Chain A
């Protein structure tokens, strides 16, 4: 990896991320409005990995994040929108980046996460979905404060991951019956060793990341056939060095994240050619204006810039902060959360 050192355009990527706010009237910013919380997480985590998080005003960011919080406890993608579990995780991650999780009412928020997860599963039968209704009305909450297994059934494994990751960051995994959650995730495992979004769904690297990370966070990786999954994952590397997310699909920088994290968590990352992958990611940089794209010569965006930089961090590219593959936050941030508790 040292051979490639100096090829990452750190300054330009920082400039690119900071410039996104200045691009008024671009189509992307209009379309991004409702998921600005995700955008903030991608941009800020990238800056932190690059060692440049101090270039943003943390008080402004936090005050905006808190304005996105709904009275139920969950977070919206932007001020004045509805809370959603996708944005709630991003908001928690952003607060964690600034070591500000203590501003949260953790119990209220973790109840809300379970509630949002339940709604995600039941949107079809459970309506109108009123956020101010209490969980105990639905008979979900048991007397001891834990939640019944129902909320895990038939839910896309993405949401299982989000709830587990979020609760883990909040030290509230005890709120759920992790055994049930794990049982459901394991039922989504396919014969090729991978995971789909529901039982029988096609194995997909993004979904595998969610399942493997959720199993890692709950200490349940022993359910995985690591050699079989590891082989499927390393088959994702193509001659260009890039990774795809399913057989016969094109390589894409974002799969550097989904595939690499999974390989690392099951301890099989040495089965791919890491230098070739780093080469592929570096070739996706816009060397003039900063930012990283999905494939060489495509247009850059903040999503792929994050996945490119995070992928290089997982490959131990020199000069980057290390990132925790399961929680998707820098390792020093994670260490603070789990080892420096006051």
Chain B
């Protein structure tokens, strides 16, 4: 339903016979308000009737319909949602219908806190039977905006409270195929790998995840997310990180292209600081990236890496020069 259509069809509440017994209560704005509020007529009238049923605490079907109208006009009003929950409970309404209502609102207002709050309230009441429904719902919202923070939060909550872990890694996979730069999907991947009750945890998943991540890095070395993900995979285990031959060849692969190597050098610097020994092949790969050759010549490669980074990443040159001062020879 477009809002145009809705406006054409709207009959003023004062002309509807079921509302004849209610006296609308206008907004009290106080004297000369700082940020006075202006209303469109429809909105003003609807809010005036809402105030009337709210103040008399009328938990009736017509009050429920009225909150629907108000929410369509302005879904950001906390009080209206709050009152709607009271009415829904008092009337004992089937909350599956409520899920459909929320979905229709969320499709156009997917960044509104109240909607997600309300959704969670309804889903929690309905329990594990709606786990799949909830995952389908967030999928729909994420298909419109794959980085919607509220949708991801809700999805994580559903996984932990209601379940539905089985397809989650595949879902991350699919989203990353669509957009390998989607940091939210990378975060979700880490969430699944570390928290899913069926995958066996980080240790069990590391080998296959490293393989996947290295491929993602080599095809887009300028993508910040997989670099951070890779660090996460080796959480608390720097020595395996340093010794993994797959990691070494990934570095060489990226460095030899001589472009988009900022993240590669950044991680390499961390590894060198943790005892990673650069062999001749590494040194040969780094050498052509240099633009300055101090006199006397610098032989510490951690310092050389910092100097390269200072030059190619000027926005953060202070960060890299600070890193340089921390290199112990």
Instruction: Return chain B residues, CB-CB under 8 Å to A60.
Output: 31-34
Which one of B36, B78, B183, B322 lies within 8 Å of A21 (CB-CB)?
B36
A43 touches B28 (CB 8 A): no
Given A79-B30, A197-B153, A246-B183, A34–B78 Cβ distance below 8 Å? yes
A25 touches B38 (CB 8 A): yes
With both beta carbons as reference points, the residue of chain A lying nearest to B80 in the complex is identified as A34
B156 touches A198 (CB 8 A): yes
Query: Interface of A with B (CB < 8 Å)?
Result: 20-21, 23-26, 29-36, 39-40, 43-44, 56-57, 60-61, 63-64, 67, 76-82, 84, 123-125, 127-129, 156, 190-192, 196-198, 200-204, 230-231, 234-235, 237, 239, 246-249, 270-273, 276
Report the separation of the CA atoms of residues A145 and B316 in the bound assembly, to the nearest whole angstrom: 48
A272 touches B315 (CB 8 A): yes
A127 touches B86 (CB 8 A): yes
Report the separation of the CA atoms of residues A198 and B86 in the bound assembly, to the nearest whole angstrom: 27
A30 touches B231 (CB 8 A): no
Closest 6 CB pairs of A and B: A24-B38, A202-B187, A124-B124, A271-B319, A82-B79, A247-B183
With both beta carbons as reference points, the residue of chain B lying nearest to A156 in the complex is identified as B153
With both beta carbons as reference points, the residue of chain B lying nearest to A130 in the complex is identified as B86
Number of A-B contacts (CB under 8 A): 166
Q: Does B191 contact A (CB under 8 A)?
A: yes
Instruction: Return chain A residues, CB-CB under 8 Å to B77.
Output: 33-34, 81
Which one of A34, A57, A230, A231 lies within 8 Å of B76 (CB-CB)?
A34
Given A20-B35, A191-B235, A30–B74 Cβ distance below 8 Å? yes
A234 touches B235 (CB 8 A): no
Q: Mark B109-152, 1 if CB is under 8 A from A, else 0.
A: 00000000100110011000000000000000000000101001
Report the separation of the CA atoms of residues A239 and B289 in the bound assembly, to the nearest whole angstrom: 21
Q: Does B224 contact A (CB under 8 A)?
A: yes
B314 touches A200 (CB 8 A): no
Report the separation of the CA atoms of residues A80 and B51 in the bound assembly, to the nearest whole angstrom: 9
A29 touches B187 (CB 8 A): no
Apart from A33-B37, A67-B30, what 4 extra A-B contacts exist at CB < 8 Å?
A32-B37, A36-B37, A61-B34, A271-B319
Query: Interface of B with A (CB < 8 Å)?
Result: 27-40, 43, 47, 51, 74, 76-79, 82, 85-86, 89, 117, 120-121, 124-125, 147, 149, 152-153, 156-157, 181-184, 187-188, 190-191, 194-195, 223-225, 228, 231-232, 235, 314-316, 318-319, 322
Report the separation of the CA atoms of residues A156 and B116 in the bound assembly, to the nearest whole angstrom: 12
Instruction: Return chain B residues, CB-CB under 8 Å to A57.
Output: 32
A203 touches B187 (CB 8 A): yes
Instruction: Return chain B residues, CB-CB under 8 Å to A276.
Output: 315
* Chain A: minimal CB distance from B278 (Å): 22
With both beta carbons as reference points, the residue of chain A lying nearest to B83 in the complex is identified as A82
With both beta carbons as reference points, the residue of chain B lying nearest to A65 in the complex is identified as B34
Given A124-B124, A192-B228, A40–B34 Cβ distance below 8 Å? yes
B124 touches A249 (CB 8 A): no
* Chain A: minimal CB distance from B253 (Å): 22
Instruction: Return chain B residues, CB-CB under 8 Å to A23.
Output: 38
Instruction: Return chain B residues, CB-CB under 8 Å to A201.
Output: 152-153, 156, 187
A80 touches B38 (CB 8 A): no
Report the separation of the CA atoms of residues A11 and B190 in the bound assembly, to the nearest whole angstrom: 49
With both beta carbons as reference points, the residue of chain B lying nearest to A238 in the complex is identified as B315
Which one of B74, B223, B228, B318 lies within 8 Å of A270 (CB-CB)?
B318
Instruction: Return chain A residues, CB-CB under 8 Å to B223.
Output: 248
Q: Is the interface of A mostly helix, strand, loop or mixed?
A: loop
With both beta carbons as reference points, the residue of chain A lying nearest to B122 in the complex is identified as A124
Instruction: Return chain A residues, CB-CB under 8 Å to B187.
Output: 190, 196, 200-203
With both beta carbons as reference points, the residue of chain B lying nearest to A192 in the complex is identified as B228
Q: Which among A29, A123, A239, A247 has the highest number of chain B CB atoms within 10 Å?
A: A247
Given A64-B30, A124-B125, A202–B183 Cβ distance below 8 Å? yes
With both beta carbons as reference points, the residue of chain A lying nearest to B191 in the complex is identified as A200
B79 touches A248 (CB 8 A): no
A80 touches B149 (CB 8 A): no
Instruction: Return chain B residues, CB-CB under 8 Å to A200.
Output: 156, 187, 191, 194-195
A248 touches B34 (CB 8 A): no
A80 touches B78 (CB 8 A): no
* Chain A: minimal CB distance from B33 (Å): 6
10 A–B contacts, CB within 8 A, in A order? A20-B35, A34-B78, A35-B76, A36-B37, A61-B34, A81-B78, A82-B79, A124-B120, A191-B235, A248-B183
Report the separation of the CA atoms of residues A239 and B262 in the bound assembly, to the nearest whole angstrom: 14
Report the separation of the CA atoms of residues A26 and B37 in the bound assembly, to the nearest whole angstrom: 9
B35 touches A234 (CB 8 A): no
Instruction: Return chain A residues, CB-CB under 8 Å to B224.
Output: 235, 247-248
A40 touches B35 (CB 8 A): yes
Report the separation of the CA atoms of residues A200 and B38 in the bound assembly, to the nearest whole angstrom: 41
With both beta carbons as reference points, the residue of chain A lying nearest to B187 in the complex is identified as A202
Instruction: Return chain A residues, CB-CB under 8 Å to B30.
Output: 63-64, 67, 79
B121 touches A197 (CB 8 A): no
* Chain A: minimal CB distance from B112 (Å): 11
Given A201-B153, A235-B224, A248–B182 Cβ distance below 8 Å? yes
* Chain B: minimal CB distance from A334 (Å): 22
Report the separation of the CA atoms of residues A125 and B121 in the bound assembly, to the nearest whole angstrom: 7
Report the separation of the CA atoms of residues A156 and B125 in the bound assembly, to the nearest whole angstrom: 20
A273 touches B314 (CB 8 A): yes
* Chain A: minimal CB distance from B115 (Å): 13
B319 touches A63 (CB 8 A): no
A30 touches B38 (CB 8 A): yes
With both beta carbons as reference points, the residue of chain A lying nearest to B185 in the complex is identified as A202
Given A26-B38, A82-B78, A235–B153 Cβ distance below 8 Å? no
A249 touches B147 (CB 8 A): yes
Report the separation of the CA atoms of residues A258 and B97 in the bound assembly, to the nearest whole angstrom: 38
Report the separation of the CA atoms of residues A197 and B148 in the bound assembly, to the nearest whole angstrom: 13
Report the separation of the CA atoms of residues A80 and B50 in the bound assembly, to the nearest whole angstrom: 12
B152 touches A30 (CB 8 A): no
Instruction: Return chain B residues, CB-CB under 8 Å to A82.
Output: 78-79, 82
Instruction: Return chain A residues, CB-CB under 8 Å to B195.
Output: 200
* Chain A: minimal CB distance from B306 (Å): 13
Given A31-B74, A123-B121, A237-B315, A25–B40 Cβ distance below 8 Å? yes
